[in-house]
Amino acid sequence: MVALNKGRASLDVAVPGFTPAARAFTRFLKRIRELILTARGGSIQTAINVAHLKKEVDSSAIKVEQQRHDAEALAASAARVIELSGSVETGAVGVADTATRNLSSAVASMEELERVKARMLTIEQSVDAFTQTVNMLAERAKAIGEIGGIIQQIAMQTNLLALNAAIEAARAGEAGKGFSVVAKEVRSLAERVNAETKEISNRSDEMIRLVGSTAEGTAQIQQGVVESVSEIAATVSRFESFVADFRQMTETVETIGASAQELASVNRDMSARIDGVAKAANEVHDAMSSSARRVDQLRGHTEDIQTALAEFRTGGTVFDTLVVATENLRDDVTRYLGGVMGRGRNVFDQDYRAIEGANPPRYTTSYDGEVEAALQGLFDQVLATLPGCVYALAVDNNGYAPAHNSKFSQRPTGVYETDLVHCRAKRIFDDPVGQKLAHNTKAFLFQSYLRDTGEVINDLSMPIYLNGRHWGAVRVGFDSGQLA
């Protein structure tokens, strides 16, 4: 029993003796072994499932976090859209009001132009009638001038006749004296008629000149009026087209205003829905965070169960082989590092110096160069002799690995994806699993996790003590499929 309690004996051992108690105890141990194997297998399978669940939860948490950020950004954008749509709505309504007022002014201006056009047509008709009157006056003035000329000719002929009569009266002597007086009066009258006729002719010529000038000015006025009427008509036509376009634009602006109001309403509704999405995203984020914590708790509980079960040697199982191999590696590494420390090397040196250009980051210390080859030999021996072993190494209590298996200690290529898999020596494994085993001081720690290279690994670790001081741990990674 003492050996069983201390893990130095396996549960598949037969209790010596043929007594009923011995046989009963053997059956009891067998039953206990079966229960432990069942519990261990269930816990390992649970741990594997938890590792996969952890991966999915972490991946979902990242997506939910991104979704939450996107929802918050979308909500902020929606709020900005509402603000802008409100401005557009206000602007559209203002433009519509202004357009309506301007349309009214434009219609009034067009009506005024129509009235001006009508008045210009009336003026054109009046000027046309006045032109006809002036033309008639010019013709009458010419007729008067012609009549004056005729009268002047008659007066001149009368004057000649009166002169001839006076001459004849003088020849007649006393007998023609009376006729001479008459001839004199006729001549005097002819002279006055001739003078008045000249005056009429001069006035008639002046009248004709003035009438001609008036006719010329009237023609110019008439031409200006005709051109003005034509221009006003063209302006009215263009203004009618402008008013029609303005009316259509006003209708369009009113439609835009109505659409902006409807858009504002839709945006407000959309913003409310987006706020709901953001709230739901926050709730999902909180739920995922809670799920992640619960998964971590479940993983922790599973690891506690596995650690407790690891203390029992069931015998004849893959797990027992793994435990023995890990114990042997722990003892070998402890003896070797103790010898190095005995030669004066500070194997507790934690002044990690970054190796230039290493990605993922790698570090060197004052002792890693001396111990790397020997430790790698120990690690490779486990990797070669333990079926299902994925890796074997030792880390200090910060997770620093001064050496690793030779297959994981290849020369760096500078390609991150390649070096992540094949260049793992001298790295600090600061992930939760690596840190937990590095700080663990219990006899066993059995963890299941999703490795950064993608596969689910069962990791069995045991602490290393050098002269009573906790240095770190050995860790052996095992194919979870074989243990399951």
Which pLDDT tens digit goes with each residue over 115-140? 877 877 787 787 777 778 777 777 77
- The domain boundary residue, chosen from 218, 252, 276: 276
- Name the most confidently modeled range: 4-8, 159-163, 251-255, 409-413: 409-413
- Predicted local distance difference test score (pLDDT) of residue 381: 97
Instruction: Let me know if 389 is exposed, middle or buried by CB neighbors in 10 A (0-12, 13-18, 19+).
Output: buried
- Predicted local distance difference test score (pLDDT) of residue 15: 56
Which residue range is the domain that position 443 belongs to?
317-483
Collapsed DSSP state (helix, strand, coil) of residue 103: helix
Once rounded to an integer, what is the mean pLDDT over residues 436-458? 84
User: Please, which pLDDT band fits residue 416 given cuts at 50, 70 and 90?
Assistant: very high
Q: What are phi and psi of 388, to 5 degrees?
A: 90, -5
- Predicted local distance difference test score (pLDDT) of residue 481: 78
Same domain, yes or no, for 240 and 324?
no
Comparing 414 with 306, which gets the higher pLDDT?
Answer: 414
Does any domain span residue 243?
yes
Does any domain span residue 299?
no
SS (H, E, C) 318-340: HHHHHHHHHHHHHHHHHHHHHHH
Once rounded to an integer, what is the mean pLDDT over residues 229-241? 75
- Predicted local distance difference test score (pLDDT) of residue 54: 67
The CATH number of whichever domain residue 160 belongs to comes to 1.10.287.950
Whole-number average pLDDT of the chain: 79
Same domain, yes or no, for 358 and 270?
no
Same domain, yes or no, for 449 and 333?
yes
Amino acid at 37: L
Same domain, yes or no, for 321 and 470?
yes
Same domain, yes or no, for 259 and 126?
yes
Collapsed DSSP state (helix, strand, coil) of residue 218: helix
Same domain, yes or no, for 172 and 255?
yes
pTM of the model: 0.55
pLDDT over threshold 90, residue 43:
no
Does any domain span residue 104?
yes
pLDDT over threshold 80, residue 311:
no
Same domain, yes or no, for 138 and 255?
yes
Per the structure, the count of domains in the chain is 2
pLDDT over threshold 90, residue 92:
no
Q: How far apart are CA 288 and CA 65, in angstroms?
A: 9
pLDDT over threshold 90, residue 14:
no
Q: How far apart are CA 155 and CA 197, in angstroms?
A: 9
Does any domain span residue 172?
yes
- The domain boundary residue, chosen from 243, 276, 309: 276
Does any domain span residue 52?
no
Does any domain span residue 89?
yes
Same domain, yes or no, for 179 and 84?
yes
pLDDT over threshold 90, residue 19:
no
Same domain, yes or no, for 242 and 380?
no
- The domain boundary residue, chosen from 260, 276, 292: 276
Comparing 211 with 14, which gets the higher pLDDT?
Answer: 211
Query: Is residue 298 a contact partner of residue 50, using CB atoms and an 8 Å limit?
Result: yes
User: Please, which pLDDT band fits residue 13 given cuts at 50, 70 and 90?
Assistant: low
The CATH number of whichever domain residue 461 belongs to comes to 3.30.450.20
pLDDT over threshold 60, residue 5:
no
Q: Bridge-partner residues for 475, per DSSP? A: 393, 461
Once rounded to an integer, what is the mean pLDDT over residues 269-277? 76
Same domain, yes or no, for 140 and 257?
yes
- Predicted local distance difference test score (pLDDT) of residue 16: 61
pLDDT over threshold 80, residue 425:
yes
pLDDT over threshold 90, residue 153:
no
N- to C-terminal Cα separation, the chain: 28
- Predicted local distance difference test score (pLDDT) of residue 336: 97
Does any domain span residue 289?
no
Does any domain span residue 285?
no
Same domain, yes or no, for 341 and 272?
no
Per residue in 200-216, pLDDT tens? 777 777 777 777 777 77
pLDDT over threshold 70, residue 12:
no
Same domain, yes or no, for 107 and 157?
yes
Per residue in 370-398, pLDDT tens? 999 999 999 999 999 999 999 999 999 99
